[in-house]
Amino acid sequence: VQLQASGGGLVQAGGELRLSCAVMGLSLENWYIGWFRQAPGKKREGLSCITYEGGSTWSATYADSVKGRFTISRDNTSDTIHLEMRSLKPEDTAVYYCAAANPWTIVKKFEEYEYEYWGQGTQVTVSS
């Protein structure tokens, strides 16, 4: 199993970035995929997760800190989960990680201990 996060970079406040999480060795339909971030000196924070509901329906959940600015989605052409980030703020600066959790055991969705597999992280820096 491998998750590869990419798409980070340097952007000005108010700008946009799209992060991608390429998932190998897991079926996206059978796992929760979540995005987390960790700023220097801070605890890792859960941002959003997505799960397959059946048919063509995917269900997304967002933390209050990013609701309305970030959008998580499944790429229909590949086993990739995207995180679209808009109206970025300097406080969004962090290393961003994607992770996979077992849907049969996940309860709180944004607790890192519930996620079994992790990507390597991609740095997002928002300048003021």
pLDDT digits (tens, 9 = 90+) for 32-48: 999 999 999 999 999 99
For residue 43, the cross-strand partners are none
Sheet strand arrangement including 70-75 = 2-6, 17-24, 80-85, 70-75
pLDDT digits (tens, 9 = 90+) for 66-119: 999 999 999 988 999 999 999 999 999 999 999 999 988 888 889 999 999 999
